[in-house]
Amino acid sequence: MILWWAFLTSLAFLTRLPLPRIQRYDESIAALSVIFYPLVGAIIGGLLCLFVGVLIGFYPHANSGLVAALVLTLWTYLSGGLHLDGLADSADAWVGGLGQRDKTLAIMKDPQSGPMGVIAIVLVLLIKWAALEALFQALLQPMLNGTSWWPVFASIIIVPILARAVVIGVLATTPYVREAGLGKNLLAGVTPIRVWVTLIIVALLTVLLVPKSAILLLLVWLTVAAMARAAMLKRIQGCTGDTLGATIEIQEAILLVALALAI
């Protein structure tokens, strides 16, 4: 049962889905929940695919830009804007911190978003929308002509999986700088065997879902993760929940761009 509660914990934290009450929660469950992050990404992707399927079923000639906007809206709703909040806090802190570790961490804890945070959110959402629009424009018409829907669905599913899997890799290789916080509890769950098994499964899923783009996506995924980790280590000598959330958002945006360019 501990796996079930850990799964529900990850789902409750990373989404806004209605869930049964979590009857058991402690540090061990919080630690174990991190291994389910990619699965939560798959659930988000699956719900987005269901939405696209229903939408195109009722409105087969819907404008690709409108479809992209609706998908992105649902995507943001499902995650509750959690990672966008981390992106905004990180952007404000990186600019306002002026290269100073303590000042960066202090700004990151400020609940108010400054101009750089707003700019970061707008840019990331704009990039996501443009990439989704390009994907739908290229793939929706062939779908309507009888081609398999799988390329569209596979593209939508794999991105949130990869973006959330990166949290496991970063936590396993990067100190957590806060004295308290959810990230501190997650550290106990990123044992070497769990990290390797999870990341290998995610890599194999990438090859299975998008075989033609798998190598490109995995290279982009690893490169963005390495660059984000390097930036965290250079500025704050570790990671926080906000920087992990920012990494998820940046990963999603860049992975979508990679898929759109690879069509």
Q: What is the pTM of this model?
A: 0.94
Please name which of 134, 145, 137, 159 lies closest in space to residue 210, comparing C-alpha atoms: 159
Please name which of 43, 6, 14, 33 lies closest in space to residue 171, comparing C-alpha atoms: 33
- Express each pLDDT in 171-207 by its tens digit: 999 999 987 666 667 777 788 898 899 999 999 999 9
Look at the alpha carbons of 94, 95, 97, 99 in this order and tell me if their dihedral is positive or negative: positive
Query: Which residue ranges of the chain lie beneath pLDDT 50?
Result: none
Question: What pLDDT does 99 receive?
Answer: 84
Question: What pLDDT does 181 receive?
Answer: 64
Rounded mean pLDDT of the chain? 90
- Express each pLDDT in 100-116 by its tens digit: 999 999 898 877 778 89
Q: Round to whole Å and give the CA distance between 213 and 172.
A: 27
Tokens of 202: 């995610």
